[in-house]
Amino acid sequence: MIRAVFFDAGGTLLRTAEPVGRTYARFASHYGWPAEEEPLDHGFRTAWKKRSAEGAGLDGTLGREGWKRILKASVEAGGLPEGFPFDDYFDEVYAHFARPDAWRDFPETEAVLARLHERGIRTGILSNWDPRLRQVLAGFRWAERLDPVLISEEVGAEKPGLEIFRKAEQAGGVTAGECALVGDDPHSDQRGAEGAGWRWALVSRPERGLEEALASLGL
């Protein structure tokens, strides 16, 4: 019996308010570089996919330095000009994504969490993120229903590694057989949950959102 459902954050409960490449290009213009959105967006997706596949690497859990490498690879793919003040640019972009208004929730997020709460099922977060996520969540009323919230950089472990799943069980007072993870990444979410002995479901929007994912778990 599932007593606790943990959710991934980005791509599962939340999405960026605008395409990532558009944000990167907009901030690049502050420093005199008229960057194009599409190459930066493609660069980001390539860099993120590489980091996700490699898992915890040189940067350990994904924090400030890890995001700095991802952003550098993203803008290099877009033709980063020589002499560009990248460190200042990074600081501005990094601070932007700590703001709640840089994010949007998916249309069903609030209703899904409310329904699980009414059924007495505990809901939490299990995310490969950094402490900025707490600032982001503070801007969404439904986030009050999420407890515990485990963020990889804070706990020193990340999905798909087993340690963060065991920490979630301990924090939630539940066993592996009572937990499910809803995410969007076959590598970190599905593989991690399977390795931990959890049930799991993936969203794949627009075809499959939170409602469909939970239905596949019988919830």
Residue 218 has pLDDT above 60, yes or no: yes
Owner of token pair 């009572």: 178
- C-alpha to C-alpha distance for 13 and 96, rounded to whole angstroms: 19
Q: What is the pTM assigned to this prediction?
A: 0.93
pLDDT at 59: 58
Sheet holding 4-7, edge to edge: 146-151, 122-127, 4-7, 179-183, 199-202
User: How is residue 1 written in tokens?
Assistant: 């019996």
- pLDDT class of 144 with cuts at 50, 70, 90: very high
pLDDT at 48: 87
Domains along the chain with CATH numbers: 4-15+102-216 (3.40.50.1000), 18-101 (1.10.150.720)
Q: Are 146 and 125 in contact (CB under 8 A)?
A: yes
- C-alpha to C-alpha distance for 70 and 19, rounded to whole angstroms: 16
User: Which tens digit of pLDDT belongs to each residue from 172-199?
Assistant: 999 999 999 999 999 999 999 999 999 9
User: How is residue 180 written in tokens?
Assistant: 């499910």
Nearest partner of 151 among 168, 131, 169, judged by Cα: 131
Q: Are 181 and 6 in contact (CB under 8 A)?
A: yes
Mean pLDDT on 105-124: 97
User: Which tens digit of pLDDT belongs to each residue from 69-83?
Assistant: 999 999 999 999 999
User: Which tens digit of pLDDT belongs to each residue from 43-100?
Assistant: 999 998 888 776 655 556 778 888 999 999 999 999 999 999 999 999 999 999 999 9
